[in-house]
Structure formats: C-alpha cells, structure tokens
Amino acid sequence: MNKFTMTESNEGGKPTLEFPCQYPIKVIGVADQNLRQRVIEIMRANAGDIDESQIAERESSEGRFLSVTVVITATGKPQLDTIFAELKATGIVKMVL
C-alpha cells in the first residue's frame, strides 16, 4: 500500500494522490469529551477499523481546543469528501485538514 504520496498531474501541475494510501486527517474542535469519540466513529464508518496507534490528539495551550489526527487508508476522493463533510456537519468540528 502506498504511503501518502503526491505526484504531478498533467492538468496545470496540480498534485494528485495515488490511492490507496495512508492519509492523515487532522480535525480541530472545541475541547469536548465527545470530539475524539465522534471523530473516530466517522472515520471508522467510512474507512474501516483504525488502529489506536494511528490516532493522536493534542490540546491547545489554553485547553480550549483539541486536535485529533487519524491516519486512515484512503481509497479515493469520494471517500475523503464524505469524511470531510460528515466531520464538518457534527457542529463540534471547527476545521478539517
């Protein structure tokens, strides 16, 4: 399986991904006990089982925000679009990278 790799495409030099690949998704939201759980639920629903070693979290210096990074096996752009949309629709996610 490919790791997260970028290659040049033929359309104006825009980078493209080679699927399947390991793809990190970073989610930032208000530090809430439900954020981590909700992020993992959405990831598992769309990318299958995720090893706990592929999940990292970090609290902001003032403790107001939490970032949760999950490395998934991305299978294509539609999968990533669905994950991003579902995360944003939760109301507790502020940003998805």
Domain ranges of the chain: 24-96
pLDDT digits (tens, 9 = 90+) for 25-61: 999 999 987 999 999 999 999 999 999 999 999 999 9
Nearest to 26 by CA among 92, 89, 93: 93
Instruction: Among 5-9, 23-27, 56-60, 73-77, name the one with the lowest average pLDDT.
Output: 5-9
CATH number of 24-96: 3.30.70.260
Nearest to 6 by CA among 27, 23, 28: 23
